[in-house]
């Protein structure tokens, strides 16, 4: 992806998928070269670099197991954690990814290249 000095898109090669983010007219590009994320601003017609929250290794493990259908109890057993710790990690994941449930969190994490 190449932007001009004003942040306008000059050229991009990308794969388009349905947006997993809430609201209208969402567009997010992720550079495969450096992992940078750019979010489209409809107000000023520009692509702006966006800082993306990272997940801790434990949060990634919890999210991956949840995506495989594990219950909180199963995740706790698999990772030798207390069930309340699993719930704490899920709460942090949802907050970081601005998600309201596990499916949305998994899709968002995948789109943002966090796995």
Average pLDDT over residues 103-110: 88
Q: Per residue in 68-77, pLDDT tens?
A: 999 999 999 9
Band of residue 2 on the pLDDT scale cut at 50, 70, 90: confident
Cβ–Cβ under 8 Å, residues 68 and 86: no
C-beta atoms surrounding 77 within 10 Å:
13
Q: What pTM was computed for the model?
A: 0.68
DSSP secondary structure of 49-107? EE--PPPPHHHHHHHHHHHTT--HHHHHHHHT--HHHHHHHHHHHHHHTT-SSHHHHHH
Cβ–Cβ under 8 Å, residues 81 and 46: no
């Amino acid at each position: 992806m190449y932007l001009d000095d004003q942040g306008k898109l000059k050229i991009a090669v990308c794969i388009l998928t349905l947006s997993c983010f809430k609201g209208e007219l969402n567009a997010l590009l992720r550079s495969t070269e450096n992992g940078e994320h750019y979010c489209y601003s409809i107000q000023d017609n520009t692509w702006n670099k966006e800082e993306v929250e990272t997940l801790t290794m434990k949060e990634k493990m919890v999210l991956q197991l949840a995506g495989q259908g594990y219950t909180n109890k199963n995740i706790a057993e698999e990772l030798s954690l207390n069930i309340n710790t699993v719930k704490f990690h899920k709460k942090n994941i949802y907050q970081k990814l601005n998600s309201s449930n596990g499916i949305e969190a998994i899709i968002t994490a995948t789109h943002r290249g966090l796995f």
